[in-house]
Amino acid sequence: MDGRKMGFLVWALVGCLIIGLGIHAFFSKKAVGFWANVKTFPVNDIRGYNRATGRLLMIYGFLFIVLGVPFLGGQNSPYLLCSVFGVVLETIAGMAIYNLSIEKKFKAE
């Protein structure tokens, strides 16, 4: 297996891990945490919150895999920068969606 395929395979495995975390969150009975080392805020609808968070993680993982496709073009592909900047933008968008939409909707007051 050449380096291009191996690089994409590792990238895709990380994306599948993120999708797996999303599936776990989707079916979890207790409120899942989104931020590392931070306690989950009080949630008014645990099932809806977990489904929204799980869906966000699954979409993030799928887009992560799609953004890794330029790795198949080789290490000197000009599109690799698109992958890197795409993941940065995707991460910022995911955090914004979580803070502005999911957290506001499901936070118990």
Per residue in 27-55, pLDDT (tens digit) is: 999 999 888 888 888 999 999 999 999 99
Task: Tell me the pTM.
Answer: 0.90
CB-side neighbour CA atoms (13 Å) of 96: 6
CB-side neighbour CA atoms (13 Å) of 52: 22
Phi, psi of 90 (to 5 degrees): -65, -40
For residues 25 and 52, the answer to whether their CB atoms sit within 8 Å is no
Residue 78's pLDDT band (boundaries 50, 70, 90)? confident
